[in-house]
Amino acid sequence: MEQYRLFDDFSDKVKRAIQLFQMFEDTAVRYHKDGYYLAFSGGKDSVVLYVLAKMAHVKFQAHYHLTTVDPPELVRFIREAFPDVKVEYPELTMWDLIVKKQMPPLRTARYCCEVLKEGGGEGAFTVTGVRWEESRKRANRDFLEIHKKKGAIYLNCDNEEDRRKLEICSLKGKRILNPIIDWTEEDIWCFIRKYQVPYCCLYDQGFCRIGCIGCPLASIRSREREFERYPKYRDAYIRAFDRMVKARTASGKSKGNWKDGESVFRWWMYGNEKTDKQVAGQMELKDFIDMAA
């Protein structure tokens, strides 16, 4: 059977995003006097989202969660180009959080995102710049989702094939709208060029994505490049890891072969090399199991 998709053209996507903002504005204002809670990271997707909200003439407040491991250029850009964005400061810095959790942030345990970035918007109607194209995990996100503790219910809000833009997260008390979820990278840059939207200078310096310095989701090469550019952040991670090892020892947990912050940093960056002999400063599988206990 032949299928047709609506709103695939760029101009239609812009109109559709604006319509979605306008469609749920009354609901957003009922949830919070400031209207939409716009999750703003300073990246290319969120600046597009911000301008779309302005074009829709809806009530909203943009919020930027400072993680303390943000690129300095990004923080400066947000303050200069988007001064009305509300900066949310964390209760703990990344460095203190590492010590508290007594383990490094990992691909499989990104507690940093949960604590430093995802805590806002409870009780409000949140808007995000999540896009399907960004990752396989996000490709599974739907336009409308009602999340329960046991499973999830998926509902269509239009006739497109398995595509939903309104996400309702009952568990966290959030209502989430994803107006640009079906936008491509090309759509984002086309919008930026057409409407002359300001964006962070790091994109012009070879960065494809902008996020926390040292994020474990990034490739090894990307992380190496970040620490070459920001050596003080490398040193800060090592100091935090050193304090983490001491905290593990004080609490009676095994520190495995992690003798100091340097050894933790090497393991965090490169993992265990495939060698017959365990190299000093590296962790074995049993150590990781102990760590998670």
Q: CATH number for the domain including 139?
A: 3.40.50.620
Count how many domains the chain has: 2
Q: Is residue 217 in some structural domain?
A: no
* Number of Cβ within a 10 Å radius of residue 54: 13
pLDDT for position 15: 96
Q: Is residue 183 in some structural domain?
A: yes
Domain span at residue 29 reads 10-205
Same domain, residue pair 165 and 46: yes
Q: Is residue 245 in some structural domain?
A: yes
Give the span between the Cα atoms of 7 and 10, in whole angstroms. 8
pLDDT for position 287: 53
Q: Is residue 104 in some structural domain?
A: yes
Same domain, residue pair 123 and 27: yes
Q: Is residue 221 in some structural domain?
A: no
Domain boundary among 205, 238, 254: 205
pLDDT for position 140: 52
pLDDT for position 292: 52
Same domain, residue pair 115 and 243: no
pLDDT, one tens digit per residue, over 48-104 is 999 999 999 999 999 999 999 999 999 999 999 999 999 999 999 999 999 999 999
Same domain, residue pair 240 and 195: no
Same domain, residue pair 97 and 188: yes
pLDDT for position 172: 54
Give the span between the Cα atoms of 123 and 20, in whole angstroms. 19
Residue 127, amino acid: V
Same domain, residue pair 106 and 72: yes
Same domain, residue pair 142 and 234: no
Identify the CA nearest to 36 among candidates 65, 19, 59. 59
Same domain, residue pair 122 and 45: yes
Same domain, residue pair 189 and 130: yes
pLDDT for position 245: 95
Q: Is residue 219 in some structural domain?
A: no
What DSSP line would sit under 48-72, residue for residue?
Answer: HHHHHHHHHT--EEEEEE--S-S-H
pLDDT for position 156: 35
Same domain, residue pair 74 and 106: yes
Identify the bridge partners of residue 106 per DSSP, sorted by sequence position: 109
Q: Is residue 220 in some structural domain?
A: no
Give the span between the Cα atoms of 94 and 66, in whole angstroms. 10
Q: Is residue 5 in some structural domain?
A: no
pLDDT for position 290: 53
Mean of the pLDDT values across residues 127-131?
Answer: 93
